[in-house]
């Protein structure tokens, strides 16, 4: 009996201890549940929402680029792309293998994604493929449950409507490089593009806009169920250029199959109506991403399609430079219009003979015939009397050898040599023979086609320092806010004597419109549309004495790279010049035979497309400017 009582007592104690333990455990669990559900409810509600709701940055539409009449040049199109988020994918290489079984993924693409995954934060999506076909999108969506971290995104891609004609003006956009990351989250978005060259680069921030945001609800697999809220960003601004698309396209076709460049501008406002460099490249290819082989092909092309020759091509100006020499000689009083120089076909300086392009010479030559017939001996003599420093000073005033600050990257200043420059650069004093060669625009002188067009404009607009501009206005987003890009004018005078300008203008008119002028065969026959100008042919190789004695080969008989460059600068109409143009055809041959007809066609079309008063700027005076080794061999004008 006693033993049963003890057993009962022991059982009761154990039950009590067990019940107490359970009660303590339950109390602890209840307390923990109270802590989590009541005291920490806000925190865990936020964490749950973060898993359920994703906040996404929305890239803004990139602004359009249009021509002076509003014709679109660069627009946006829909772009399907497949993205992968490294931290969600887990084994990134395995995920890429899985994607590769559905849509092609090249080895170069794999290396790029793995490299970017190491450099960027794990939650930043990476672009695997862009510009997917609809069938490819469907295949990926069907397999989405088996592709963790992979999603289809609908973005925008840049499209250039006239790639061959506008590549060097517009430039291109491409993916953001590592060194371009500035902390702006927009730059880390998959597929985001920034301007790399041309207008796209100059106005990148304005064209880029500001990002928006979107709140979306997702399920456990990360698939979007619905959009909860959206805040649109600010679209990129619209850039309106001064370029006339039809004129630009016409020139590009006219220069097709040539390594050449052309610039057309309004002589009063400086508006660039056309700026062409051939051959061109396809900027759309940079947007989608060039392969290594495509990039190497472009870089190795001897015709340098990536170089904008109109602003970065450096050429000896040849006989077009005689305009600057003539103005300097008249200003310094070393010659008068009626003073004549005899040209027997050469000029001797010491024991070196400098030849005229016309073997038997021009006979007695004055300023008018010196320019219209492009007599080299006449300008050798002017240069000898002037000295290179005075020539360079006048050239700089006319816009040669200086940066013109066009709103386009890559512009080069060229070179106007002086005695000081040569001594500091080479340690060798300037030689008299170098001055003679400078007098016909060769030797160390280097200019760009843009500078030659500006020189022409400053000559015929009354001597005002017009500067080029490419941007007409900037419209911000969808608003009516417009920033008009006015010229830097009213332009100041460069100090030319109007009488000197008139004499030189008359001679350049005769170049084209007077029998015997070096571009007479390229004249504009349409009444009221006549042009004036100056031919130029620059020699790019040394001519031996034997060649000179036994006869020079014609340019077309020589290998392409040994042929002369063909240049022509022109303006129209003669009565009241409004347009200036400069054309350089690399290894084209004679300026009068090759470049002058091109400028003729360009200026004729520009005049036929003219709109009254468009682009005219009033001058500083208050009125619209109006026109009132071996012995070097000269290349003919």
> What share of residues in the chain are helix, strand, coil (percent, to 5)?
40, 20, 40
> Are 468 and 441 within 8 A, CB to CB?
no
Number of neighbouring beta carbons within 10 Å of residue 516: 11
Helix (H, G, I), strand (E, B) or coil at 601: helix
Exposure b/e, 202-228, CB count within 10 A at least 16 = b: bbbebbbbebbebebeeeeeeeeeeee
Catalytic residue among 197, 319, 372, 374: 319
> Are 628 and 502 within 8 A, CB to CB?
yes
587: left (phi over 0), alpha (psi -120 to 50) or beta: left
Closest C-alpha among 194, 208, 218 to residue 56: 218
Side-chain half-sphere of 164: how many Cα atoms within 13 Å?
A: 11
Active site residue 319: yes
| Intra-chain end-to-end CA distance of the chain, in Å | 140
Number of neighbouring beta carbons within 10 Å of residue 253: 12
Q: Compute the distance between CA of residue 166 and CA of residue 289 in angstroms, rounded to an integer.
A: 19
* Per-residue CA distances from 633 to 22, 377, 442, 578, 614 (Å): 112, 11, 10, 35, 44
Q: Compute the distance between CA of residue 465 and CA of residue 479 in angstroms, rounded to an integer.
A: 35
Give 340's contacts (C-beta < 8 A, 6+ positions apart).
Answer: 364, 365, 366
Checking DSSP bridges between strand 65-66 and strand 238-241, what pairing results, if any?
A: parallel
Closest C-alpha among 239, 282, 246 to residue 264: 246
Helix (H, G, I), strand (E, B) or coil at 181: coil
Q: Compute the distance between CA of residue 634 and CA of residue 625 in angstroms, rounded to an integer.
A: 35
Here the tokens at position 588 are 């084209």
Q: Compute the distance between CA of residue 95 and CA of residue 546 in angstroms, rounded to an integer.
A: 72
Here the tokens at position 189 are 């978005």
Number of neighbouring beta carbons within 10 Å of residue 294: 14
Closest C-alpha among 24, 133, 155, 12 to residue 79: 155
Beta strands in 471-564 (DSSP E): 471-475, 482-484, 532-538
> Are 577 and 460 within 8 A, CB to CB?
yes
* Per-residue CA distances from 260 to 172, 408, 428, 511, 566 (Å): 21, 19, 34, 22, 9
CB under 8 A, 24+ apart: contacts of 418-426? 418/388, 418/389, 418/392, 419/388, 419/389, 420/389
CB neighbour class for 353 (10 Å; exposed up to 12, middle 13-18, buried from 19): middle
Give 188's contacts (C-beta < 8 A, 6+ positions apart).
Answer: 120, 121, 124, 176, 181
Give me the count of residues in the chain: 637
Q: What residues are annotated to the active site?
A: 319
């Amino acid at each position: 009996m006693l033993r049963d009582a003890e057993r009962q007592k022991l059982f009761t104690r154990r039950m009590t201890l067990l019940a107490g333990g359970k009660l303590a455990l339950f109390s602890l669990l209840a307390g923990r549940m109270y802590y989590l559900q009541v005291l920490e409810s806000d925190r865990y509600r936020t964490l749950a929402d973060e898993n359920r709701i994703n906040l996404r940055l929305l890239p803004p539409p990139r602004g359009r680029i249009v021509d002076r009449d509003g014709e679109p040049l660069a627009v946006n199109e829909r772009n399907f792309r497949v993205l992968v988020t490294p931290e969600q994918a887990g084994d990134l290489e395995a995920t890429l293998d899985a994607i590769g079984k559905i849509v092609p993924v090249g080895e170069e693409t794999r290396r790029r994604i793995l490299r970017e995954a190491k450099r960027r934060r794990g939650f930043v999506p990476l672009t695997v493929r862009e510009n997917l076909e609809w069938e490819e999108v469907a295949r990926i969506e069907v397999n989405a449950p088996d592709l963790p971290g992979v999603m289809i995104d609908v973005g925008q891609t840049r499209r250039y409507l006239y790639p061959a004609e506008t590549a060097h003006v517009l430039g291109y956009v491409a993916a953001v490089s590592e060194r371009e990351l500035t902390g702006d989250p927009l730059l880390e978005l998959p597929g985001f593009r920034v301007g790399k060259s041309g207008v796209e680069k100059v106005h990148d921030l304005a064209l880029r806009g500001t990002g928006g945001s979107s709140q979306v609800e997702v399920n456990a697999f990360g698939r979007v169920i619905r959009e909860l809220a959206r805040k649109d960003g600010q679209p990129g601004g619209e850039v309106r250029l001064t370029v006339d698309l039809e004129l630009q396209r016409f020139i590009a076709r006219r220069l097709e199959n040539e390594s050449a460049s052309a610039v057309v501008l309004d002589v009063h406002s400086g508006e660039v109506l056309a700026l062409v460099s051939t051959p061109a490249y396809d900027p759309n290819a940079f947007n989608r991403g060039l392969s290594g082989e495509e990039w190497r092909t472009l870089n190795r092309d001897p015709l340098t399609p990536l170089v904008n020759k109109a602003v970065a091509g450096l050429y000896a100006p040849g006989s077009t430079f005689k305009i600057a020499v003539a103005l300097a000689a008249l200003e310094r009083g070393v010659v008068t219009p009626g003073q004549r120089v005899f040209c027997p076909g050469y000029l001797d300086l010491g024991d070196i003979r400098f030849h005229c392009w016309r073997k038997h010479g021009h006979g007695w030559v004055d300023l008018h015939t010196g320019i219209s017939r492009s007599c080299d001996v006449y300008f050798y003599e002017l240069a000898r009397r002037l000295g290179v420093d005075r020539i360079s000073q006048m050239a700089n005033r006319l816009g040669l050898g200086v940066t013109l600050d066009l709103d386009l990257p890559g512009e080069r200043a060229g070179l106007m040599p002086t005695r000081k420059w040569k001594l500091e650069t080479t340690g060798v004093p300037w030689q008299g023979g170098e001055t003679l060669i400078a007098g016909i625009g060769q030797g160390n002188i280097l200019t760009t086609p843009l500078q030659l067009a500006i020189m022409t404009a400053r000559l015929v607009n009354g001597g005002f320092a017009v500067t080029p501009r490419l941007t007409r206005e900037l419209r911000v987003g969808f608003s009516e806010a417009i920033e008009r890009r006015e010229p830097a004018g009213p332009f100041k005078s460069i100090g030319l004597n109007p009488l000197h300008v008139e004499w030189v203008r008359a001679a350049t008119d005769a170049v084209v419109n007077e029998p015997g002028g070096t571009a007479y065969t390229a004249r504009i026959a349409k009444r009221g549309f006549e042009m004036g100008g100056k031919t130029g042919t620059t020699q790019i190789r040394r001519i031996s004495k034997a060649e000179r004695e036994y006869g020079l080969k014609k340019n077309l008989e020589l290998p392409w790279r040994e042929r002369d460059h063909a240049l022509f600068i022109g303006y129209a109409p003669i009565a009241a010049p409004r347009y200036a143009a400069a054309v350089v055809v690399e290894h084209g041959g004679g300026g009068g035979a090759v470049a002058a007809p091109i400028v003729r066609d360009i200026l004729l079309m520009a005049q036929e497309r003219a709109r009254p008063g468009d682009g005219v700027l009033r001058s500083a005076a208050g009125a619209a400017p109006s026109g009132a080794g071996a012995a070097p061999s000269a290349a003919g004008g």
